[in-house]
């Protein structure tokens, strides 16, 4: 700060701002955006599971006629959604890290600044594992509603479906 003040001269005042009162607002905004993204992801998974289950309603009817219990139907539908979430995490996490490492330096260069390595190396193994588990959790949550419908659907109407 002293070097900058000497460079600018006495006409410009330089002072350090260590005010952190806006930090809770920023963290709250980030938390709300994260919650909205998780909600949209859950609704997307719900849509995918609805389509998959509606396509497989005849197969589920055959399984129910052969003796599959409602709990087993729920397990099949939830595992299908969880598998989709796991596959999405395996693809999306490396893609997101690569996109972060590609976009952030270019944004800094466009602003005419340089970023330290600590700004680029923010993702570590445990955090990525938690993100992968969060993807599976979001997928399973999105699949639960459709799993309940599939478990309570009548076997006769499921067998008539094509």
Cα–Cα distance measured from residue 107 to residue 102, given in angstroms and rounded to the nearest whole number? 9
**Which among 66, 100, 76, 84 is positioned nearest to 138, based on CA atoms?**
84
Q: Which of 6-10, 104-108, 134-138 has the lowest mean pLDDT?
A: 6-10
Residue 104's pLDDT band (cuts 50, 70, 90): confident
Percent of the chain's residues with pLDDT above 90: 6
pLDDT in tens, 133-158: 888 888 888 788 888 888 887 877 77
Task: Answer yes or no: is pLDDT of 20 > 70.
Answer: no
Quick one: CA dihedral 37, 42, 45, 50, positive or negative?
negative
Q: CB neighbours (10 Å) of residue 45?
A: 23
| pLDDT score, position 27 | 83
pTM, whole model, 2 decimals?
0.64
The token pair at 138 is: 């979001």
Look at residue 161 in the predicted model and tell me its pLDDT: 64
């Amino acid at each position: 700060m002293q070097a900058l003040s000497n460079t600018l001269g006495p006409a410009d005042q330089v002072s350090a701002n260590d005010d952190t009162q806006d930090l809770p607002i920023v963290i709250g905004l980030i938390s709300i955006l994260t919650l909205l993204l998780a909600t949209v992801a859950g609704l997307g998974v719900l849509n995918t599971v609805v389509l998959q289950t509606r396509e497989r309603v005849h197969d589920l009817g055959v399984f129910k006629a052969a003796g599959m219990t409602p709990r087993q139907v729920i397990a099949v539908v939830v595992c299908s959604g969880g598998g989709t979430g796991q596959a999405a995490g395996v693809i999306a996490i490396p893609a997101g890290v690569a996109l972060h490492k590609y976009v952030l330096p270019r944004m800094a260069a466009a602003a005419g600044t340089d970023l330290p390595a600590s700004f680029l190396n923010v993702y570590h193994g445990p955090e990525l594992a938690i993100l992968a588990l969060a993807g599976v959790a979001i997928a399973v949550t999105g699949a639960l509603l459709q799993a309940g419908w599939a478990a309570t659907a009548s076997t006769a109407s499921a067998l008539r479906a094509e």
